[in-house]
Amino acid sequence: MSQQDTSEKNGGQPVADDSDSAADNAEPQDTEVAAAEAPELPPETERAPGSSPRIRRRNGSYVTGVLALTCALFAAGAVGLLWWQYRQFYADVDQAYSATSVSLQTGRADVRALEDRMADLAAENLRTREFATDLGERVDAMLGRFLDLEDRLNATQGVSEDTRRRWLRIEAEYYLTVANAELTLAGRWDNATRALEFADEKLLELSNPALGSVRERIAAELMALRAIRLADVEGLSYSLTRLADGGRTLSIRSTSPGNFAAEREPPAETPSGLARIWLSLKGAVAAMVSIERRDEPIVRSLSTEEQTLVRQQLELELVVARLGLVSGQADVFRQSLMAAKELLARHFDNGDAAVASAMALLEEMAALDIAPARPDISGSLNLLRSLADRDN
């Protein structure tokens, strides 16, 4: 059909207008159909562009709440730790006070025991000195009498040779008796040696071959006496006196550190954000608890009164050692030296040169034998007496 016919059927109006209107009517219909046929999106997808700031705010409040809760937990833990340290501190203070009281009582008891020992040793030393003095006076008196008698005999005319020989033998026996008494009772090695030498001289004046065995025995006894190395009692006594005086100024060991803060290395770089907060909390908690490994045993610091007691105990131990040295009691001397050395090692600063020197001197003294075994020098006296009885 032609366009003209079509126009005629439509009442003479243009066909193009109808087609345009039909197209306009068809476009809304097509749009509605496409919208109906398209899949429905979820509400969250439809609201995503407009609601993203709200989600960010919600996430930010969640992170803030977690951080606040973490900080609260750390704060609660720190408070609990501080409370526990507070309780532990007062418990340690009470324990230290009890230990200090016990230590003071023990120190006072030790001081009293040392004073009693010192009094006993002083009394025994006084008795020994009195006995030795009395013995020395008696020996000197007898020696003077013998010398006086010898002078009288020499001055007397007409004395027989037999009487002179008998007198020389009596003198030799007397000197041998003195030698045994000096060594056995008084412990005077030098006097015993001189007495043996005097006895040998008297036997030499006799010029009796029968007494040659006695002289041989005397020579052996002299060698035995001279072979023993004796301690310098006088020098050791002066050294102990100086140590006792110097103990008042020796430095006491101190366990308190000069700086309680631990040295921290500066961080290589400063973190930011959560890492910085975490490091701050970690550093705060780590600063509350400090674990330190020490090879040496921890020694409790002494109070002023305890330091005074320790110094007095050290001085008393050295005084007792000096008394044991003078009286020849080796066990008392060595025990007191070891006790003094233990006090120095336990309570005094071993790094100090004066303390180390004192400990070395005490150890050297303890190794000395101040009372060596006394040799038997009674053989010559017994042999001389047996020969005299045989002659009679």
Q: Is residue 211 part of a domain?
A: yes
For 180, left (φ over 0), alpha (ψ -120 to 50), or beta? alpha
The mean per-residue pLDDT over the stretch 126-152 comes to: 69
Radius of gyration of the chain (CA): 55
Q: Is the pLDDT of residue 271 over 50?
A: yes
Does position 202 have pLDDT exceeding 50, yes or no? yes
Contact 243, 362 (CB under 8 A): yes
- Whether 220 is covered by a domain: the verdict is yes
Q: Is residue 197 part of a domain?
A: yes
In a domain? residue 175: yes
Instruction: Classify the C-alpha dihedral 225-227-233-238 as positive or negative.
Output: positive
Task: Give domain status of residue 242, yes or no.
Answer: no
Per-residue pLDDT tens over the stretch 143-175: 666 666 666 666 555 556 777 788 888 889 999
How much is the average pLDDT of 175-197?
Answer: 89
- Residue 71's pLDDT is 81
What are the residues whose beta carbons fall under 8 Å from the beta carbon of 386, sequence distance 6 or more?
none
Number of folded domains in the chain? Answer: 1
* Domain region containing 209: 160-227
Most confident of 56-65, 107-116, 135-144: 107-116
pLDDT, averaged across the chain = 74
Torsion (CA) 242, 114, 360, 325 in degrees, nearest 10 = 70
Percent of the chain past pLDDT 90, that is, above it, reads 15
pLDDT at res. 63: 73
Does the pLDDT at position 15 exceed 80?
no
**If you search the block for the tokens 């110094």, which residue do you land on?**
311
Higher pLDDT among residues 337 and 111, named by residue: 337
pLDDT in tens, 54-93: 665 666 677 777 777 888 887 888 888 888 877 887 777 7
Instruction: Write down the pLDDT at residue 8.
Output: 43
On whether residue 282 sits in a domain, the answer given is no
Residue 101 counted as domain residue:
no
- Indicate the range of 141-155, 234-248, 299-313 predicted with least confidence: 141-155
Q: How many angstroms from the chain centroid is the CA of residue 128?
A: 38
The helix-helix angle for 304-327 and 330-347 (nearest 10°) equals 160
pLDDT at residue 253, rounded to an integer: 78
Q: Cβ-count burial of 189 within 10 angstroms (0-12 exposed, 13-18 middle, 19+ buried)?
A: middle
Q: Say what the pLDDT of residue 224 is.
A: 92
- Any idea what DSSP says for residue 188? -
pLDDT for 104 beyond 60: yes
Question: Facing residues of 348 across strands?
Answer: 252
β-partners of residue 252 are: 348
Q: Would you mind telling me the total number of residues written for the chain in this entry?
A: 392
- Between CA 363 and CA 368 the distance in angstroms is 9
What pLDDT sits at residue 44? Answer: 46
Per the structure block, which two tokens stand in for 204? Answer: 């030499």
In degrees, rounded to 5, the angle at the alpha carbon of residue 73 between the alpha carbons of residues 67 and 75 is 100
Rounded mean pLDDT of 337-354?
90
Name the pLDDT band for 292 (thresholds 50, 70, 90).
low
Is 11 a domain residue? Answer: no
Give the per-residue pLDDT at 247: 84
**Helix ranges, 156-188 (H):** 161-181
At 102, list the tokens: 């016990």
pLDDT band at 176 (very low <50, low <70, confident <90, very high): very high
- pLDDT surpasses 80 at 290: no
Residue 115, pLDDT above cutoff 60: yes
Q: How far is CA 30 from the centre of its chain?
A: 103
